């Protein structure tokens, strides 16, 4: 029991400590593809350190929502790693307190409060970012639920560990049309939820701002919490995509310390493979106008529907 508790803590710490590194690798690769030098892969750690030591400036119009949104978003990202296979392919002590749909709802809760905080500040940019985020969420959130429903129908269970075991044990299911449709649908969602869809970017250019606009009024430690929570959300979505759907191997099945370390190394190797595809899609595809955001999301929605239909027919 003590070993399982330590593994549970190790899963949370893996997401907490390695999420800025993944963000740094992706940002540097994007710059290298564009023939720029880019920041170092450890730059997100330096940015967080700097923000935690800066003064906090609060808008006069801010209410309690402004204060609690970063804390709740950060806490939500610490909760989800308890429910999903990060290092082990078997449930740990608190893994059964929620299923894959519950994990998705927790992720959505954090994003919802950040959207409210963007409106709460009274800033014009916050309103723009929050309204655009809601417009994206109108298609993204139902599609995410449909993907989770498709995963549930595929494995006849809502626990991500069961899905992992099924795909490892039965190659026929892994290469089935239903599973491949789910992988494609989730990959598009991954681009949307991690701010990599070619209609917006993490810049301060008004035309493209979505996520950056929502948190533009934040500063100091609260901004650091939001930046860290965003990096952890990206890490969590990559974990679900790799360990549950795309590459369900290289996880510890005995729970030994050496196996957990190997699983952490294997996890980051999987992330690098997916990151190459994400960077390629983001840089190779021409930037879309904002009003065309529904096209990739509609494709993801259709793929999730096809996955459910293929599963029922198969």
DSSP state for residue 297 in the 8-state scheme:
H
Instruction: Give the integer Cα–Cα distance in Å for 245 and 79.
Output: 21
Q: Please provide the average confidence, as pLDDT, over all residues in the chain.
A: 87
pTM summary value: 0.92
Structural domain that includes position 218: 2-313
Of residues 46, 67, 11, 10, the one with CA closest to residue 240: 11
- Does residue 293 register a pLDDT over 90? no
Model pLDDT, residue 289: 62
Model pLDDT, residue 192: 85
- Give the residues across from 252 on adjacent strands: 88
Provide the 10 A C-beta neighbour count for residue 206.
12
Distances in Å between the alpha carbon of 301 and those of 94, 119, 142, 304?
Answer: 32, 28, 8, 5
Instruction: Give the integer Cα–Cα distance in Å for 62 and 313.
Output: 53
204 falls in which pLDDT band (50, 70, 90)? Answer: low
pLDDT digits (tens, 9 = 90+) for 8-27: 999 999 999 999 999 999 98
Over residues 220-246, mean pLDDT: 94
Helix (H, G, I), strand (E, B) or coil at 96: helix
- Half-sphere exposure at residue 66, Cβ-oriented, CA atoms within 13 angstroms: 21
- Does residue 77 register a pLDDT over 90? yes
Instruction: Give the integer Cα–Cα distance in Å for 235 and 30.
Output: 17
Q: What angle do CA 229, 65, 140 make, to 5 degrees?
A: 55
Q: Report the percentage of the chain scoring pLDDT > 90.
A: 46
Helix (H, G, I), strand (E, B) or coil at 252: strand
Burial of 51 per CB tally in 10 Å (0-12, 13-18, 19+): buried
Model pLDDT, residue 206: 60
Number of domains the chain contains: 1
Choose the weakest-confidence range: 73-82, 154-163, 209-218: 209-218
Per the CB < 8 A criterion, the answer to whether 34 and 283 are in contact is: yes
Per the CB < 8 A criterion, the answer to whether 260 and 88 are in contact is: yes
pLDDT digits (tens, 9 = 90+) for 160-170: 888 998 999 99
């Amino acid at each position: 029991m003590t070993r399982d508790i330590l593994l549970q803590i190790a899963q949370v710490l893996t997401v907490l400590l390695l999420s800025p590194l993944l963000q740094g690798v992706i940002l540097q690769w994007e710059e290298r593809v564009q023939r720029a030098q880019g920041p170092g892969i450890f730059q997100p750690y330096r940015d967080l350190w700097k923000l935690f030591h800066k003064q906090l400036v609060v808008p006069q119009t801010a209410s309690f929502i402004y204060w609690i949104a970063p804390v709740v978003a950060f806490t939500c990202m610490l909760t989800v790693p308890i429910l999903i296979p990060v290092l082990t392919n078997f449930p740990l002590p608190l893994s059964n307190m929620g299923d894959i749909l519950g994990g998705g709802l927790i992720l959505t809760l954090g994003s919802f409060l950040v959207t409210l905080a963007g409106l709460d500040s009274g800033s014009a940019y916050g309103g723009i970012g929050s309204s655009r985020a809601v417009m994206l969420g109108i298609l993204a959130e139902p599609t995410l639920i449909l993907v989770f429903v498709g995963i549930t129908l595929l494995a006849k269970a809502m626990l991500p560990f069961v899905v992992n075991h099924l795909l490892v044990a039965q190659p026929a299911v892994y290469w089935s049309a239903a599973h491949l449709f789910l992988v494609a649908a989730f990959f598009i969602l991954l681009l949307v939820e991690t701010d990599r869809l070619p209609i917006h970017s993490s810049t301060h250019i008004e035309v493209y701002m979505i996520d950056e606009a929502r948190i533009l009024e934040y500063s100091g430690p609260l901004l650091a919490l939001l930046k860290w929570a965003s990096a952890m959300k990206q890490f969590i979505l990559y974990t679900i995509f790799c360990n549950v759907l795309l590459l369900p191997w290289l996880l510890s099945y005995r729970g030994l310390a050496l196996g957990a370390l190997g699983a952490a190394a294997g996890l980051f190797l999987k992330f690098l493979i997916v990151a190459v595809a994400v960077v390629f899609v983001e840089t190779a595809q021409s930037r879309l106008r904002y009003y065309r955001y529904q096209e990739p999301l509609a494709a993801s929605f259709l793929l999730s529907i096809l996955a459910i239909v293929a599963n029922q027919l198969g």
